[in-house]
Homo-oligomer: A and B are copies of this chain.
Amino acid sequence: MQKTIEFKTKPSIISTYTVAGPKESSGPIGNYIHKQLKEDTFGEKTFEKAECKMLSAAIKGSIETAKFKESEIGALFSGDLLNQIISASFSARDFDIPYIGIYSACSTMSQSIAMASSFINAGYIDNAVCATGSHFATAERQYRYPLELGCTRPPQAQWTVTGAGSCLITKHKKNFPSITKCTFGRVVDFGVIDANNMGAAMAPACADTILKHFLNTNTTPKDYDLILTGDLGTLGSRLLKELLWEKGYELYDNHVDCGEMIYTINEKEYQGASGAGCSAVVLNSFIYDKLINKKLKRILFSATGALLSTLSSQQGESIPGISHLVELEVFDE
């Protein structure tokens, strides 16, 4: 039974912090990114170490911005795209905070917010940090081809974001964006086998979760200022709209995908951005700014994950997708 969980205590996101590479920082939402890197190695010897350092910087930034001490944080919910989520685990070494490792690929940002809100709403902990990130070079190397090979990118490809985002969630605080509901997604597999076409693999899972949320809460797209999806990209976003249109919900007016927002459109990225860092950066910079300034007052955020590994693809498996959803609201208090 796929329930929508309601958080009656309305936990609030009281601070966020984002770090991103030069390409992301020079894009349309670049000015909202807290730490804009000049080079995507972040002073490290390997891209993996750079990814880990970005994530640590985001976590630290969100704690410092809120003027909290590590000892006040009850749990760190984090994960990433690398094998054995090493960026998250190795970042967690830097903090004296209980660490809850999660994996849902690029749905990590919404999964972590849903879990942290569940724990805070239940009174188990008072404060939690949610964080994730990704790096173009580590993702290409791990999932597709090493950059050195100079492979041509197909038109359905997305560009993995080099960036990390983190937010600090506490008990309800007036006038801060609050998490009021969440719907955990199911694994949905439409049989897509092209590891370059993640948008198509994830769109059905995203449609499934959003639809369940509408039904459970008796709402329609019109009830929200924005329906923000993870990193479906241009093609995936169109698929999502069509899938929901078939079910009687028209998403055209107020839907945008994080993957369509982060880069200035040019040929190389084709379908836009992807990666766990994509929705983490967009949500915790530009979107958070709109929420805190009450330009947006009620939104759905449904990040989307493609649950493949190179090995599963090599063994001929298709790419299952997942999407976890959180509802964010800010009130006039």
Contacts and interface: CB of A to CB of B under 8 A. Distances in A.
Nearest to A107: B101
A175 interface: no
B308 A84 contact: yes
Interface stretch (A115-123, A149-157, A231-239): A115-123
Given A103-B102, A118-B122, A312 B79 contact: no
Contact of A1 (B71, B86, B320): B71
This chain: how many copies in the complex? Answer: 2
Contacts of A93: 187, 189, 320
A307 interface: yes
Contacts of A2: 98
Interface string A71-89: 1111100010111111001
Nearest to A108: B101
A86 B319 CA distance: 10
B309 A84 contact: yes
Given A5-B124, A99-B184, A121-B122, A315 B84 contact: no
Highest count of chain B CB atoms <10 Å: which of A72, A183, A312: A312
Interface residues on A, range: 35 or more
A163 to B, nearest CB: 20
B83 A309 contact: yes
B86 A309 contact: yes
A125 interface: yes
A172 interface: no
A83 B311 CA distance: 8
A322 B46 CA distance: 25
A111 interface: yes
A276 B4 CA distance: 30
A309 B48 CA distance: 12
A185 interface: yes
A73 B1 contact: yes
A83 B307 CA distance: 10
A182 to B, nearest CB: 9
A107 to B, nearest CB: 9
B186 A124 contact: no
Contact of A3 (B74, B79, B82, B122): B74
Given A5-B124, A93-B187, A98-B186, 8 more contacts: A3-B124, A48-B312, A82-B311, A83-B84, A84-B103, A98-B183, A99-B187, A101-B307
13 contacts: A1-B74, A5-B124, A48-B315, A86-B307, A86-B308, A86-B309, A90-B312, A92-B186, A99-B184, A103-B103, A118-B119, A121-B122, A122-B122
